[in-house]
Amino acid sequence: MKKILFVASEAVPFIKTGGLADVVGSLPKCIDKRYFDVRVIMPKYVCIKQQWKDIMEYKTHFYMDYHWKKEYVGIFEAVVEGVTYYFIDNETMFNGMKPYSDNAYEDIVKFAFFSKAALSILPVIDFKPDVVHCHDWQTGLIPVYLKERFQGGEFYQNIKTVMTIHNLKFQGKWDVKTIEEITGLPQYFFTPDKLEAYKDANLLKGGLVYADAITTVSDTYAEEIKTDFYGEGLNGLLQARSKDLRGIVNGIDYEEYNPENDKLIANRYNAVNFRKEKIKNKRALQAELGLEQNDKKFMIGLVSRLTDQKGLDLVSYVMDELCMDDIQIVVLGTGSEKYENMFRHFDWKYNGKVSANIYYSEEVSHKIYAACDAFLMPSLFEPCGLSQLMSLRYGTVPIVRETGGLKDTVEPYNEYESTGTGFSFTNYNAHEMMAAIRYAEKVYYEKKREWNKIIDRAMAADFSWNVSAAKYQEMYDWLIG
Ligand code: ADP
Ligand code: GLC
């Protein structure tokens, strides 16, 4: 049995701020249990809901040298759908209302602690992984630590590491001196060929230099991050390591996101009966959100973190123009104040037509995926994107910009060949986006049969984990040798 350890800062069902949690919560379940024993380590945030804390069982605790002090490291365990999770407990480190704070320094202290603790508990829980699979900057120190101090003991010999980039934008950067102190790593590591980047220390870079393999969450993003535009300053390093870098597109949990037995939606449906049944979800959502009750209105959904990454300045630029059209727009998201207020403003201005829901709700997100006709995702960059996959699964036609995973998962509609699962545009330009939306509107209003065939193809597309989980397995096998 090969042992794989996921280390990550969030996972469904315990805590989620974005797609990372969906991936870490669903991929381990889909790895073949006959050959792999996959376990997950994550922080026990104070803000995790009581319901989930209740299923965690206290195992033991010890004290670990960290940042000039001895820090408490508690270990909790829970098993969910056959996957064992370990939680690192330290209420001072993992306090706060959210997993991440607005203070970069605090987060670095927190996740450097987490990374060191995750390695330190392994002998205690008696689990020696063949591969540690690290996710994003929060775990970037793990490959570094494994090459350094943990090599002293025999326990840590021959552990391979994978670093998966879910979002290159976030790297965990601070000045070298401070990071040296926090991590206890010697000066040797803080040179431009190791953790240093542009005079600062960079935790993700450490992971990318020292990991045995690097992956990211789509083929297109794997190529994009080797360029200046998408490379966030690490494109040189990624080019240098391109032999060890591969793209594996994300899947989604086909049990959790299934219009046929989704308990969160008003009316269940499938690929056969959506023509009659999907509409009932639209009616219910229009009623719930106070939108005009009208079966025919082209309803566009947007469920997203409200940040620059998601292309919302394009939306803001043409929102007035868009609202002149015969449409409804339903937004669910939280994030930067400028976008939250922008959508609140348009909700007020076009009441009955625009609904801005500025909060986080699993339930409302499912209702939107089920109710809308189209889903808008005009991202500036998108490593993979899961929302468009959820939309496809619910027969809600994605309108996306051709970047990263959006390009790899949404096939643009071709009216001559009657192919495609969505609508797309190439350049980061509000009028190109408008043209794509208007094209979708036109097909919806004027060629309903064509529109329904797009839905047929969207719902037939397979973005379950089947194929991608096999690719991860192949990579683990190759690493272990
Ligand atoms: P990212 O990870 O960049 O935020 P993804 O598309 O990969 O983007 O994943 C976003 C996930 O977060 C999806 O599962 C989406 O439904 C969910 N999500 C985003 N905002 C909200 C919200 N306000 N309420 C509920 N779910 C949300
Ligand atoms: C990141 C990316 C998103 C991706 C998710 C899961 O949050 O922004 O595109 O789908 O990670 O890999």
Per-residue pLDDT tens digits for 95-151: 999 999 999 999 999 999 999 999 999 999 999 999 999 999 999 999 999 988 666
173-175: strand order across its sheet: 173-175, 200-202, 196-197
**Would you place residue 152 in the very low, low, confident or very high pLDDT band (cuts 50, 70, 90)?**
low
CA of 472 to the centre of ligand 2 (A): 17
Query: What is the model's pLDDT at position 153?
Result: 77
Q: What confidence tens digit (pLDDT) does each residue in 418-448 have?
A: 999 999 999 999 999 999 999 999 999 999 9
Atom 17 of ligand 1 has which residue's CA nearest to it? 18
Quick count: other Cβ atoms within 10 Å of Cβ 196?
17
Burial state string for 278-290 with b = 16 or more CB within 10 A and e = fewer than 16: bbbbbebbbeebe
**Residue 357 CA, closest ligand 1 atom number:** 23
Atom 1 of ligand 2 has which residue's CA nearest to it? 166
Task: Give the mean pLDDT of the chain.
Answer: 97
Atom 11 of ligand 2 has which residue's CA nearest to it? 166
**How far does the chain reach from its first CA to its final CA, in angstroms?**
13
Q: Which helix (H) or strand (E) holds 392?
A: helix 387-393
Ligand 1 mutation target, pool 265, 303, 379, most atoms within 8 A of CB:
303
Atom 12 of ligand 1 has which residue's CA nearest to it? 18
Residues linked to residue 165 through DSSP beta bridges, in sequence order: 216
Type of residue found at 7 = V
Q: What number of CA atoms fall less than 13 Å from residue 296's CA on the CB side?
A: 5
Name the closest ligand to CA 387.
Answer: 1
Q: What is the CB < 6 Å shell around ligand 1?
A: 18-20, 22, 303-305, 332-334, 360-362, 365, 384-387
**Average pLDDT score over residue span 209-228:** 98
Sign for the pseudo-dihedral over CA of 275, 276, 277, 282: positive
Checking if the pLDDT of 376 tops 90, the result is yes
**Residue 332 CA, closest ligand 1 atom number:** 23
Ligand 2 mutation target, pool 133, 134, 138, 250, most atoms within 8 A of CB:
250
Query: Where do the domains of the chain lie, and which CATH numbers do they carry?
Result: 2-251+466-480 (3.40.50.2000), 274-462 (3.40.50.2000)
Inter-CA distances, 143 with 131, 165, 413, Å: 11, 14, 43
Query: What is the model's pLDDT at position 175?
Result: 98
Q: Show the tokens assigned to 390.
A: 């959820």
Inter-CA distances, 415 with 187, 458, 462, Å: 60, 15, 22
**Average pLDDT score over residue span 190-215:** 98
Query: What is the model's pLDDT at position 154?
Result: 86
Name the closest ligand to CA 136.
Answer: 2
**Residue 166 CA, closest ligand 1 atom number:** 2
Inter-CA distances, 73 with 6, 9, 92, 258, 471, Å: 18, 16, 11, 39, 34
Burial state string for 77-87 with b = 16 or more CB within 10 A and e = fewer than 16: bbebeebbbbb
Checking if the pLDDT of 392 tops 80, the result is yes
CA of 16 to the centre of ligand 2 (A): 12
CA of 331 to the centre of ligand 1 (A): 12
Q: Show the tokens assigned to 7.
A: 């280390």
Q: What confidence tens digit (pLDDT) does each residue in 308-355 have?
A: 999 999 999 999 999 999 999 999 999 999 999 999 999 999 999 999
Query: What is the model's pLDDT at position 151?
Result: 66
Please enumerate in sequence order all residues whose Cβ is within 8 A of that of 208, keeping only pairs 6 or more positions apart, or say none. Answer: 140, 163, 165, 214, 234, 237, 238, 241
Q: What is the CB < 6 Å shell around ligand 2?
A: 18-20, 23, 166-167, 217, 250, 382-386, 405
CA of 112 to the centre of ligand 2 (A): 22
CA of 446 to the centre of ligand 2 (A): 35
Atom 2 of ligand 1 has which residue's CA nearest to it? 19
Query: Which letter does DSSP use for residue 413 in this model?
Result: P
CA of 405 to the centre of ligand 2 (A): 9
Q: Do 231 and 381 touch, CB atoms closer than 8 A?
A: no
